[in-house]
Amino acid sequence: MLKLGIRNEFMKRVLVVDDEEGIQEIVQSCLEILHGWEVYLAGSGMEALDKAEVYQPDVILLDVSMPHVDGFTTLQQLREGSITRRIPVILLTAKVHPLEHEELEKFNISGLIAKPFDPLKLAEQIVAILP
């Protein structure tokens, strides 16, 4: 397995929450094949809540625009869960708008990665955002 020089000793499990299967597949392939990370997929906010509790990922990549339960509602529910409240969340979204510092703190968002993203640089972006 080819592994690039990404600092990934702390990064083992990633939950990708996106209603677009194509995005899920790209992220999963890139992070698993190139970096050896475990990637779990959720196509909705409700599925994300269940999987976050079961797998307790090291980070959640969360799409903002999803049908039924949007990313911010999902994030709010994650923050209310005793098991999920401390999991870092990175927004993965095409609807990039400047988030005010207050919003970042209110939702405890670790960072933002804009779509479209470069799949080969995704792991680097994640590692750069997290401590």
Tell me the pTM.
0.86
**What is the extent of the structural domain holding 54?**
13-129
Helices (H) and strands (E) in the chain, counts: 5, 5
User: Which residues make beta-bridge pairs with 17?
Assistant: 42, 62
CATH number for 57:
3.40.50.2300
Summarised one tens digit per residue, pLDDT across range 81-98 is 999 999 999 998 876 565
DSSP labels for 35-95?
Answer: H--EEEEESSHHHHHHHHHHH--SEEEE-S--SSS-HHHHHHHHHHSTTTTTS-EEEEES-
Whether 5 maps to a domain, the answer reads no
Counting the structural domains of the chain, the total is: 1
Whether 8 maps to a domain, the answer reads no
Summarised one tens digit per residue, pLDDT across range 44-74 is 999 999 999 999 999 999 998 888 888 889 9
